[in-house]
Amino acid sequence: MTDAQLVQDAPVSLIAEKVGAHLKNRHAAERRFRAYGMASIIIAVIFLAVLLSSILGRGLGAFVQHEMQLSVTFDAAVLDPDATHDPKVLASADYMALVRSSMTTLFPEAADNRGARRELSALVSSGAEMVLRKMVLSDPSVIGTTKTLWVPTSAPLDQLMKGNMAREAEKGGQFSERQLGWVDALKEKGLVKSHFNTWLWTQGDSRQPELAGLRGAIVGSFYSLVVTLVLSFPLGVATAIYLEEFAAKNKWTDLIEVNINNLAAVPSIVFGLLGLEMFLNVFGMPRSAPLVGGLALTLVSLPTIIIASRVALKAVPPWIREAALGLGASKLQMVTHHVLPLAMPGILTGTIIGMARAIGESAPLLMIGMVAFIVDVPSSPLEPATALPVQIYLWAASPERAFVERTSAAIIVLLLFLAVMNAGAIYLRKKFERRW
């Protein structure tokens, strides 16, 4: 029986019943479908929340670091036995000996046992040496005196104090009973405290997690971004102006457009291969330099800037152009005096978004060698450097447990940069957006 016959033959009440029953199913299906949509949005947001909270939960701890209070005697017999006062002698003196003797005065029971001495000095970071050396070099008169100062603890102790590492050896703890006793004694005397982590901001990379900092990476990223901005902003805006305001629609401009779309879609690692082959092998530019990194990142951000600038130029209404031309402006005057200033907020927004893409990009930088282990903070775009996302990659590959915390902290810093840049773009758009 077809539906049409059903409608003709069946009594009205039966039809209503059938349709009604069917309608119930249909409405249920409607509600289900709606719930699927809602559920997928919720799933996506949960993914985001899990991602951010797992990073925040791991990384926030790295912004503070535990330090240990020691009273160090700057023994002239150790630092400068011949009383030369030569900075070279002072710089190469054995500062760890001072630290060790200061710790054995705290715990005299460890003094005559080599194993115990080694275990005791494992509590303090070799960064203590750097602190002492800096003090002596900046003011040699401290030699011979005794000073109370805070020095960084070793990474395992820091992790133990933060609760990231279990005390018991079976659960992955790295300390012996004896060491745990010392730690408890230090804690009781208030000689171990957490301080704001200045090392993270003032140091370059290091093999020791407690001394590894982001300064080198941030400076490297900064140089690369400056190169990127200097190149991609004028090139991108000029391309957009040419295509929107001057170019006729023909085969040539079609070719340009195809290539811009292509640039936007090429995987970024291919730009890295281009950089390796062209910039390094053919032009002989220095490896690992932010200059070359900036060149590769220019290609990453260029399409974003071109496309955003074209949209912004298109949004300027044609009567502005006609009015300018009607008053006798040349075409270029029309563009530079009227269209470009009106499109500038949109162009700048696009530029910031393009830069935000560039700062998070790491694949092309791996290809041109910005992955080396570099301790020094670069002082020019030609010196070897890493970048912030590459530093994250390097730290993530480090086996030490404390680097997990450092990596997460580096990610938080990177995400903060991105958030600030995007907030700036949104602010610009909200503030200067004009509807004609």
- 78 touches another protein by CB under 8 A: no
- 239 touches another protein by CB under 8 A: yes
- 435 alpha carbon, distance to own chain's centre: 36
CB 216 within 8 A of CB 385: yes
CB 59 within 8 A of CB 411: yes
Which one, 211 or 296, has the nearer CB to another protein? 296
Give how many residues touch another protein by CB under 8 A.
91
Place of tokens 């941030």: 218
Q: Which of 9, 21, 47, 314 binds another protein (CB under 8 A)?
A: 47
Footprint of another protein on residues 168-187 (CB under 8 A)?
Answer: none
- 60 touches another protein by CB under 8 A: no
Q: Which of 26, 118, 187, 434 binds another protein (CB under 8 A)?
A: 26
Footprint of another protein on residues 276-295 (CB under 8 A)?
Answer: 276-278, 281-284, 286
Q: Which two tokens stand for residue 406?
A: 């450092």
Q: Which of 16, 21, 44, 60 binds another protein (CB under 8 A)?
A: 44
Which one, 180 or 382, has the nearer CB to another protein? 382
- 244 touches another protein by CB under 8 A: no
Sequential DSSP letters for 335-360: IIIIIHHHHHHHHHHHHHHHHHHHHT
Minimum distance of another protein from residue 235's CB (angstroms): 5
CA 70 – CA 153 distance, rounded (Å): 11
Q: Which of 98, 361, 374, 402 binds another protein (CB under 8 A)?
A: 361
Q: Which of 45, 169, 416, 423 binds another protein (CB under 8 A)?
A: 45
- 423 touches another protein by CB under 8 A: no
Helices (H) and strands (E) in the chain, counts: 20, 3
CA 213 – CA 168 distance, rounded (Å): 29
Which one, 242 or 432, has the nearer CB to another protein? 242
Task: Tell me the chain's radius of gyration from C-alpha atoms.
Answer: 32
Single out the segment in contact with another protein by CB under 8 A; choices: 72-80, 101-109, 216-224, 234-242.
234-242
Q: Which of 14, 91, 137, 255 binds another protein (CB under 8 A)?
A: 255
Which one, 286 or 424, has the nearer CB to another protein? 286
| Closest C-alpha among 371, 348, 359, 362 to residue 415 | 359
Characterize 255-285 residue by residue with b for buried, 16 or more Cβ atoms within 10 angstroms of its Cβ, and e for exposed: eeeeebeeeeeeebeebbebbbeebbeeeeb
Which one, 184 or 376, has the nearer CB to another protein? 376
Q: Which two tokens stand for residue 277?
A: 């082959």
Single out the segment in contact with another protein by CB under 8 A; choices: 138-146, 177-185, 196-204, 238-246.
238-246
Dihedral, 110, 128, 130, 373 alpha carbons, nearest 10: 100
| Closest C-alpha among 92, 122, 87, 94 to residue 107 | 122
- 411 touches another protein by CB under 8 A: yes
How far is the first Cα of the chain from the last one, in angstroms, to the nearest whole number? 61
What is the torsional sign of CA 293, 294, 296, 297? positive
- 427 touches another protein by CB under 8 A: no
Per-residue interface string for the shown chain with another protein, residues 89-108, x marking contact by CB under 8 A: --------------------
Minimum distance of another protein from residue 43's CB (angstroms): 6
- 346 touches another protein by CB under 8 A: no
- 27 touches another protein by CB under 8 A: yes
- 334 touches another protein by CB under 8 A: no
CB 160 within 8 A of CB 189: no
CA 353 – CA 351 distance, rounded (Å): 5
Q: Which of 72, 116, 356, 377 binds another protein (CB under 8 A)?
A: 356
The DSSP call for residue 277 is I
- 270 touches another protein by CB under 8 A: yes
Q: Which of 157, 186, 260, 340 binds another protein (CB under 8 A)?
A: 260
- 21 touches another protein by CB under 8 A: no
Left (φ > 0), alpha (ψ -120 to 50) or beta: where does 297 sit? alpha
Q: Which two tokens stand for residue 34?
A: 């709606």
Footprint of another protein on residues 369-408 (CB under 8 A)?
Answer: 369, 371, 380, 382-383, 389-390, 392-393, 396-397, 404, 407-408
Q: Which of 1, 3, 8, 36 binds another protein (CB under 8 A)?
A: 36
CA 328 – CA 42 distance, rounded (Å): 57
